[in-house]
Amino acid sequence: MKKTIAAAAALLLGFAAGAQAGIHIALFAGYATTPGSGAGDGALIGGRVGFSLSKTWSLEITAGRWQLPLPGTTEGLSKGKITETPVELELRAHIPLGARGIRGYAAAGAGYAMHSFALDSTIVGGWRTAGLEVNESVDHGLAAHLGLGVEITLGPAAAVEIGARYSILRTKGTWAMADQAGGESIGGTLAGLAFDALAVVAGFRVAFR
Amino acid sequence: MRQKNIWKITVGIAGAILAVVAMIGPTGAGDATSPPAEADLTLADVHPKAGHPKLDSSLAALSGLWRTGDIGQAREYGFKRRMEIEGDSVRVVTETAVEPLASASLVHARASILKTKISQLGGWTERQHRNLIQHWVPIASLETLASDPLVKFVRPPRRPFKQSIISEGVGRTGADAWSNLSPYRTKGTGVCVLDAGFGGYALLLGDELPDSVKIKSFRADGDHEADDHGTACAEIVHDMAPGAEMTLVSFDTDVEQHAAMDWIVRQDIGVISYSMGWYNGGAGDGTGPICYDVERAADNDILWASAAGNAATDHWDGFFTDNDGDGFHNFTPTDEILNFTVPAYLPVGAFLNWKDFGLWNGYDYAGTDQDYDLYLYYWTGSAWQYIDSSTNHQTGAGAWPTEEVYGWYATRNAVWGVGIYRSRGTKNVRLELFTYNNSAPIEYVVPARSIIVPADSPDAIAAGATDWSNDALHSYSGQGPTHGGLIKPDLTAPSGVSTSTFGSRNFYGTSASAPHVAGGLALFRSMTPYSASQVRKIIQKRAVDLGEPGKDNLYGFGRLNLKK
């Protein structure tokens, strides 16, 4: 553990040594889909605050948010909407592509995702009519992502970027049913919930030096 | 549930005929757009009746055409009349001639003879339901068949027109609140109706019953349709829990029931609907072989909804008293005969037991050496006439402390009486008497402790009967406590509801209530992940409390309630 921390510190110091000091912020939006998980598609928005470590490297704190419809499965979550809010630390490498003012980038990040699930109101209402309260929730959990894209410099401090981002979002959840009359309840866990999302994003970045 | 409205159907059919006539249009004099205001029919308009009087006129016409040798014309006629003709045979229903109130065994015997005759005529039987035989018969033999003295009538099979009727109990109990729900995290265990028979069930599939059901008969005669009582119960279960998979299991004797349970516990069944009851089937304290079947169900995570019995007006119990020392029990200081009235032709039943069964060991009772006998009398109008008696020898081993007389009947409403004689008695034991088929409460009726076996089992959810329209307790509904001291019934549920099986005769009794409870249990078992024990708790807590606050011996926890 100590070795890992020391190595990370050395890496950061190395970046800092060659840093072109500066902070930038970026806002991005896109469209997310969920290959494999069965969830639907939805819009994505997010922002990023970055610190340039060198011409090549930057360290970013990125946050996004998207909400996707879930059709529901018998083993996993029921029909409803899942909202994802990952906050991650990202390391980004910038690669000149030859053309002036255009750079490619590759990013990898990890962090924590806040998941929230809203059970379909017709399900909730239906069971309430029968005197039963149904509830499902998902836990927050670790998140990671990979990204690829290009940046187009618009001026000394501004750039636009277009890319793709694959987010790995795994968690677990719980379900519960309770009788409103006597409180008799039953519940269980929902293990292995996966909401991995592939998103296409476009953003605008402004740098401060 | 709405009654079938025959008038509406008749008017509807008449309207349809008129519409068809109108479409055909005028054929003669008069206004071209409407029929003449007056029409005069004469004797010349009358078509002479043809064919055998016990043959449906359409079949008589078919038979007549066939006999002329014009087979083509006969087939065309049959086609127009939507008859089913294969080769030289036509599908018909032969109604066996039976007297009103004839016994089921007599009807069965006559129908069996008729089936043999049909076979001798070159026909073959598809299905028999009581006195009705659906079969194919050569068209040339229709007249011969109709001439048989055992035949009441020969007709084409009737076809139903869908007019589904839903038990009123669905709305009363709130089961309709579940109608739009999908199963939630459940394995979806099914419901089993365990009953004497399921006559006519096939005709109700996809309508009053699920599209398909699993059927299994444990009757020695293999006749799954010997009785239609189970069909009516199954209808109610299906009305209550339309999504539950259904298994219909028939039996006739105690041994067959035990065999049925051997099979049931191996199936994916979560609820049993049981609208049967046993007089003298155990000590009434939750023990005995019948209750053991309920216990076996519980051990296999199966909930058992049991009719509490209709014996509250047919029940007496008390301790032996002999004021004059003649050995006969005194129901009062001056009366040694308990009397009751039974309608004409209905078999009389009297069942005596006394609470000295001895220890139940899981297989049998230890036995008793207290010996009582049961006597049956008939009131002639001027005196009691001895009819029969049951005088088993209770010697400490062997015979249970039970006596019964069953099967006698009178050709008119009659007053019957029972007496209880003590052959040997050294202990003060509680005597219990049930009667059967009495039309009014018996003399000296004691409603308490009238819960019938196996509703006395602690594992059974005993269902009493309340009127579907106002929750009033039906007077006959079995009452607790059990002879083991348990408060029973556990719940009440609607009775007096409509079923397709019984038609205009509403389905009364705890036999109707038990499938309502079973249906409610089946909703939970088939739609939710709750365990059997949890479902039982939920159902009890949700009940609409009736009678004394809390659980009582008339209503139990109260009337079944499935909604918020």
Give the ranges where B121-275 is alpha helix by DSSP (H).
Answer: 142-147, 168-173, 201-204, 229-240, 254-264
Residue B507 has pLDDT above 60, yes or no: yes
Q: How much is the average pLDDT of B212-231?
A: 89
Q: Report the largest interatomic distance among the alpha carbons of chain B, rounded to a whole angstrom.
A: 97
Chain A contacts of B181, Cβ < 8 Å?
126-127, 130
Chain A contacts of B530, Cβ < 8 Å?
177, 184, 186
Q: Is B180 on the interface with A (CB under 8 A)?
A: yes
Least-confidence region, from B202-206, B381-385, B530-534? B381-385
Chain B contacts of A78, Cβ < 8 Å?
184
Report the alpha-carbon distance of residue B74 to residue B62 in Å, rounded.
6
Give the ranges where B174-301 is alpha helix by DSSP (H).
Answer: 201-204, 229-240, 254-264, 289-299
pLDDT of residue B324: 87
Crossing angle of helices B57-67 and B71-80, rounded to 10°? 160
Percent of chain B whose pLDDT exceeds 70:
86
* B82, two tokens: 């939507």
pLDDT of residue B157: 65
The range of the structural domain enclosing residue A73 comes to 19-208
Q: Within its chain, how far is the Cα of B454 from the centroid? A: 17
CA dihedral A118, A120, A124, A127 (to 10 degrees): -140
Q: Is A182 on the interface with B (CB under 8 A)?
A: yes
Report the alpha-carbon distance of residue B393 to residue A68 in Å, rounded.
79
Chain A contacts of B185, Cβ < 8 Å?
74, 175, 177, 188
Q: Is A131 on the interface with B (CB under 8 A)?
A: yes
pLDDT of residue A34: 86
- Collapsed DSSP state (helix, strand, coil) of residue B372: strand
pLDDT of residue A17: 39
In one-letter notation, the amino acid at residue B395 is T
Within-domain flag for A2: no
CA distance A67 to chain B (A): 24
Within-domain flag for A121: yes
Within-domain flag for A6: no
- Collapsed DSSP state (helix, strand, coil) of residue B62: helix
pLDDT of residue B187: 81
Please give the helix or strand (H or E) that residue B312 lies within, else none: none
Question: Residue B107 — very low, low, confident or very high, per pLDDT cuts 50/70/90?
Answer: confident
pLDDT of residue B81: 59
Using CB atoms, which residue from A128, A186, A188 is nearest to B564? A128
Contact between A182 and B184 using a beta-carbon 8 Å cutoff: no
Q: Is B537 on the interface with A (CB under 8 A)?
A: yes
Q: What angle do CA B443, B448, B454 make, to 5 degrees?
A: 110
pLDDT of residue B363: 72
Contact between B181 and A179 using a beta-carbon 8 Å cutoff: no
CATH code for position A194: 2.40.160.20
Mutate to test the interface with B, among A73, A122, A132, A189 (most CBs of B within 10 A): A132
Q: Report the largest interatomic distance among the alpha carbons of chain A, rounded to a whole angstrom.
A: 71
Chain A contacts of B180, Cβ < 8 Å?
126
Within-domain flag for A101: yes
Contact between B564 and A180 using a beta-carbon 8 Å cutoff: yes
Q: Is A132 on the interface with B (CB under 8 A)?
A: yes
Domains and CATH numbers, chain B: 54-157 (3.30.70), 185-310+451-542 (3.40.50.200), 315-436 (2.60.120)
Q: Is A186 on the interface with B (CB under 8 A)?
A: yes
CA nearest neighbour of B245 among B217, B218, B268, B263: B268
Task: Give the per-residue SS3 of chain A.
Answer: CHHHHHHHHHHHHHHHHCCCCCEEEEEEEEEEECCCCCCCCEEEEEEEEEEECCCCEEEEEEEEEEEEEECCCCCCCCCEEEEEEEEEEEEEEEEECCCCCEEEEEEEEEEEEEEEEEECHHHHHHHHHCCEEEEEEECCEEEEEEEEEEEEECCCCEEEEEEEEEEEEEEEEEEEEEECCCCCEEEEEEEEEECCEEEEEEEEEEEEC
Residues of chain B numbered 495-534 and touching chain A (CB < 8 Å): 528-531, 534
Question: Residue B29 — very low, low, confident or very high, per pLDDT cuts 50/70/90?
Answer: very low
Q: How much is the average pLDDT of A93-119?
A: 93
Summarised one tens digit per residue, pLDDT across range A59-105 is 999 999 999 999 988 889 999 999 999 999 999 999 998 878 899 99
Residue A51 has pLDDT above 90, yes or no: yes
Question: Residue B404 — very low, low, confident or very high, per pLDDT cuts 50/70/90?
Answer: confident
pLDDT of residue B130: 62
Report the alpha-carbon distance of residue B60 to residue B51 in Å, rounded.
5
* B81, two tokens: 């009349």
Within-domain flag for A8: no
Contact between B177 and A179 using a beta-carbon 8 Å cutoff: no
Report the alpha-carbon distance of residue B39 to residue B55 in Å, rounded.
31
Residue B139 has pLDDT above 80, yes or no: yes
pLDDT of residue B394: 85
Helices (H) and strands (E) in chain B, counts: 12, 22
Q: Is the whole-model pTM more than 0.80? A: no
What is the number of alpha carbons within 13 Å of residue A48 lying toward its C-beta? Answer: 27
Residues of chain B numbered 184-243 and touching chain A (CB < 8 Å): 184-185
Mutate to test the interface with A, among B182, B533, B537 (most CBs of A within 10 A): B182
φ/ψ (deg, to 5) at B457: -65, 135
Summarised one tens digit per residue, pLDDT across range B5-26 is 433 333 333 333 333 333 333 3
Number of domains composing chain A:
1
Pairs of CB atoms within 8 A across A/B: 55
pLDDT of residue B254: 83
Asked if B339 and B438 touch (Cβ cutoff 8 Å), the reply is no
Q: Is B446 on the interface with A (CB under 8 A)?
A: no
Using CB atoms, which residue from B174, B184, B541 is nearest to A177? B184
Crossing angle of helices B510-527 and B229-240, rounded to 10°? 40
Residue B253 has pLDDT above 70, yes or no: yes
Report the alpha-carbon distance of residue A199 to residue B80 in Å, rounded.
67
Summarised one tens digit per residue, pLDDT across range B320-334 is 999 888 989 999 999
Q: How much is the average pLDDT of A185-202?
A: 94
Contact between A129 and B564 using a beta-carbon 8 Å cutoff: yes
Contact between B538 and A129 using a beta-carbon 8 Å cutoff: no
Contact between A181 and B538 using a beta-carbon 8 Å cutoff: yes
Summarised one tens digit per residue, pLDDT across range B278-306 is 998 999 999 998 999 999 999 999 999 99
Cα–Cα distance list, B328 to A129, B318, B361, B362 (Å): 59, 14, 32, 34
Contact between A175 and B185 using a beta-carbon 8 Å cutoff: yes
In one-letter notation, the amino acid at residue B198 is F
pLDDT of residue B8: 37
Q: How much is the average pLDDT of A170-189?
A: 94
Report the alpha-carbon distance of residue B139 to residue B119 in Å, rounded.
14
pLDDT of residue B320: 96
The more confidently predicted of residues B24 and B467 is B467
* B102, two tokens: 């004839």
Using CB atoms, which residue from B177, B534, B541 is nearest to A186? B534
pLDDT of residue B15: 39
Contact between A129 and B537 using a beta-carbon 8 Å cutoff: no
Contact between B563 and A131 using a beta-carbon 8 Å cutoff: yes
Cα–Cα distance list, B222 to B9, B251, B434, B532 (Å): 37, 9, 30, 32
Residue B36 has pLDDT above 50, yes or no: no
Please give the helix or strand (H or E) that residue B478 lies within, else none: none
Within-domain flag for A1: no
Sheet of B338-342, strand order: B338-342, B414-424, B371-379, B384-390
Within-domain flag for A7: no
Residue A208 has pLDDT above 80, yes or no: yes
Report the alpha-carbon distance of residue A199 to residue A39 in Å, rounded.
13
Percent of chain A whose pLDDT exceeds 90:
76
Within-domain flag for A9: no
CA distance A142 to chain B (A): 27
Asked if A85 and A107 touch (Cβ cutoff 8 Å), the reply is no
